[in-house]
Structure 1
Amino acid sequence: MKFFRKYATVKIFTIFSVLLLSSCSKDSDDPAPQETEITVSTSDFSITMDENPINGQVIGSVQGSTNDGSVTFSITEQTPSGAFSIDASSGELKVADETLFDFESNPTITGTVQVANGAVSENASITITLNDLMEENVYEGDLILRSQQEVNDFGANNYAAIIGTLHIGDPEEGTTTDIIDLSPLQSLRSINGDLGITNNPSLISTLGLNIHYLYGKLIIVVNDTLEKIEGFNRLTSVQELVLSLNPRLYDLSGLYQLTSIGDGLVLVSCPQISNLDWLSNLTSFGGDLTIINCNSLANIDGLSNLTTATGEYNYFRITYNNSLLNLNGIENLNTEIYHLEIAANSSLTSIEGLQNKRVTTTLKIIENPFLENLHGLESTINISHELTVQNNNSLINIQGLRNLETAESFQIFNNESLPNLVGLNNLERCRNLDIRGNNELTDFCDLQNLFINGSNNSYIAIYNAYNPTKQDIIDGNCSL
């Protein structure tokens, strides 16, 4: 009997051991968790451009992406050597040695760019094809055409390119020209610098121009009778676009092919421009956006394909546009805004188009009488200089600032309908806080976090419906 019990015990122990070993073995056979495989993608880059550019001129950008982290760009080879350079983080190609961009010597410039994420990389082939400009038809130097006769005389030379800037009209303030016809310039295809059209009171249209490449700014200002921008149907990029003080200008369809503006877009005193649909192909710009005193402009929906701002310090000024209802056209643009000013837009009811755009230095929302809230500013966390909310008579809440943590100087002035400061409960640091002249403001309770847990040097509350002291707010006497 003892033998049987002993035998049974040994047998049970043996079975248990076998099961345990089998379980361990099964566990060890399970596959290890797989790490995500890093992938990199890119595409070949090709462009046709005029010969004889200048050093530093932007050629274009190589595209590259990865499923984890970011990519870097580097040139592994190029022929001829040293012709172009690349920005390691953005993939932007620039002319490095202008002497190599000569059609007779190098009609085609090629190379290979490596797009990499660590050890994983893909290559993009670079092909730059140069246009042959007849050497005798290239004008070298800056040029000003101050009269119709000068336009005619220059046009008789049939220049295909200008290595320099061209100014049509008199750039001197207060002077005018008799220029009415730009068709003598129809052979001109490329301008290496800026193109200015200024102070031409009799010019109705730019018809007759045939500009394919403009490597500088396009500046069209103070042309009293100008109605149409024409002659730029093949132009895809400019360094900056400035349209100002052209009181009859309404048709800008000639700029429809623009996809890139290197620095910024400036529209000032353009009373007949009712929309920005002529910019519907624009996808990137430098980051400066100025729209001032364009009283027929009801929307900026034409900017809806704008997704990229390349500037380091982006300035947005949208002021004195009496018909503008909202900012919805820039909702797809993801960027930081260094300075944002939305002021005196007498029909504006919404700024929600500012979503995903973090303001960092200066924010001014002033004199927008029908603006009821600040929704659209939720990405703004720290204002390092000045934040002003002033004279917005219909403003009833500022909850769009609910993620605000820091504002160096914060003024809330003369917002006649604002009843409370709900939305400022996350404010932790505000050196100077000035709240005055808000006739309906009775609730300051959202400032408790700032005064109890945060940092504040100066606080003023006067001429409001209720004007509690800092100690009142700390003690809970923060509302009527």
Structure 2
Amino acid sequence: MKKIFLYTILSFIIFGCSVDNSDIQILPVTILQGNVILRTQADVDAIGAQRYNVINGYLNIGDRWAEDHIPVPSDITDLSPLNTIISVTRQVEIQSNPLLTSLEGLSQLSVASGLIVNDNENLASLDGLTNFRAIEGNSFVSRQTVYSGGVISFLNNASLTSIEALSNINPQVLNSVSVNTTGLTSLEGLENITNVATLQVINNNNLTSLAALEGLTAINNTLLIFGNDLLSNYCILQAPLQNNSALEIYNVSENQFNPTQQNIIDGDCSQ
């Protein structure tokens, strides 16, 4: 890994006032070239001490999946040392951290290629990500799957009851959105997802509403919604399915109500 120092010019313009040279500040931006895997709290502390602003690679908080390696649970409890990171050029993966209860240390993060939050059994919300603004489309590999970029994924976070922090994301076209085995009752936070190739909502026992997908205009390839015991209203998906009725994969099953694709298109979408 290599550290590079760049300098950016930030100008602060106050409405109605002119800007002179005194309004321009030269601030250093520290870039880490390479991927980062933080398996322990000591790793988090060590990287945090370097005060990086940009990671030109992926950031893995917790152990990382590999073909021959299942992640070992970490001892990470505090992400505050990472509070200078503003950009990650590939994905941010928060994986296998059973003691982690907060993402507050990622409060400056604004852009990444994907956000993957898996196997964090005591994480209740994403509140530390309120400055997260954009998911860019760089390709990456996660769990032996190649993504073309633009991914939001939550898997096996049983205590996760809020993803509202993501509501500040700019309108996004994504490759995949996956919400799998969480404690969510709604998808509030995903209002600005406008177009997605694959949408998966699976095994969320408390989920009662998809209404937060109000900004979604198209599902291009795959819709999987199953194992959500309390889910009975899919009307928010009527327009996206009308815009593309030729999905390659459609599976809505084992929920409280299980309409066909044509049912939803025709407006027979709730019970």
Q: Does 1:279 align with 2:68?
A: no
1:172-209 deviations in Å (ceiling 9; x for gaps): xxxxxxxxxxxxxxxxxxxxxxxxxxxxxxxxxxxxxx
Please name the residue that 1:266 is paired with: 37
Give 3-state SS (helix, strand or coil) of 2:122's partner.
Answer: coil
Please name the residue that 2:227 is paired with: 437
Whole-Å separation in 2 of the counterparts to 1:398 and 1:352? 14
| Paired letter, 1:358 | A
Please report how far the alpha carbon of residue 262 of structure 1 lies from its aligned counterpart in structure 2 after TM superposition: 3.2
Number of equivalenced pairs: 232
Asked if 1 retains the 8 angstrom alpha-carbon contact of 2:48 and 2:82, the reply is yes
Determine which of 77, 92, 95 is the counterpart of 1:298.
77
Q: Does 1:403 align with 2:192?
A: yes
- Residues 292, 408 of structure 1: alpha-carbon distance in 2 compared, 3 angstrom cutoff: same
- Residues 273, 346 of structure 1: alpha-carbon distance in 2 compared, 3 angstrom cutoff: farther
Q: TM-score, normalised by structure 2?
A: 0.74
Please report how far the alpha carbon of residue 445 of structure 1 lies from its aligned counterpart in structure 2 after TM superposition: 1.8
Whole-Å separation in 2 of the counterparts to 1:59 and 1:315? 20
Please name the residue that 1:376 is paired with: 165
Q: Does 1:472 align with 2:263?
A: yes
* Structure 1 segment 350-361 matched on structure 2, within 5 A: 350-355=125-130, 356-360=132-136, 361=150
Q: TM-score, normalised by structure 1?
A: 0.44
Determine which of 388, 391, 397 is the counterpart of 2:181.
391
| Paired letter, 2:55 | G
Give 3-state SS (helix, strand or coil) of 1:377's partner.
Answer: helix
| Paired letter, 1:295 | S
1:323-354 deviations in Å (ceiling 9; x for gaps): 1112111111222x212210000111011222
Q: Does 1:333 align with 2:122?
A: no
Please name the residue that 2:204 is paired with: 415
Please report how far the alpha carbon of residue 277 of structure 1 lies from its aligned counterpart in structure 2 after TM superposition: 8.0
Using CA pairs under 8 Å that are at least 6 residues apart, name the structure with larger relative contact order, 1 or 2.
2
Whole-Å separation in 2 of the counterparts to 1:388 and 1:342? 10
| Paired letter, 1:319 | Q
- Residues 365, 59 of structure 1: alpha-carbon distance in 2 compared, 3 angstrom cutoff: closer
| Paired letter, 1:286 | I
Which residues of structure 1 form unaligned runs of 5+?
Answer: 1-56, 69-119, 123-236, 238-258
Please report how far the alpha carbon of residue 446 of structure 1 lies from its aligned counterpart in structure 2 after TM superposition: 1.3
Please name the residue that 2:7 is paired with: 62
- Residues 400, 317 of structure 1: alpha-carbon distance in 2 compared, 3 angstrom cutoff: same
Which residues of structure 2 form unaligned runs of 5+?
Answer: 14-19, 23-28, 64-72, 137-149
Question: In percent, how many aligned pairs have the same letter?
Answer: 23
Give 3-state SS (helix, strand or coil) of 1:340's partner.
Answer: strand
Greater radius of gyration (CA): 1
Determine which of 55, 59, 68 is the counterpart of 1:289.
59
Asked if 2 retains the 8 angstrom alpha-carbon contact of 1:435 and 1:461, the reply is yes
Please report how far the alpha carbon of residue 464 of structure 1 lies from its aligned counterpart in structure 2 after TM superposition: 0.8
Whole-Å separation in 1 of the counterparts to 2:133 and 2:32? 19
Whole-Å separation in 2 of the counterparts to 1:456 and 1:408? 13
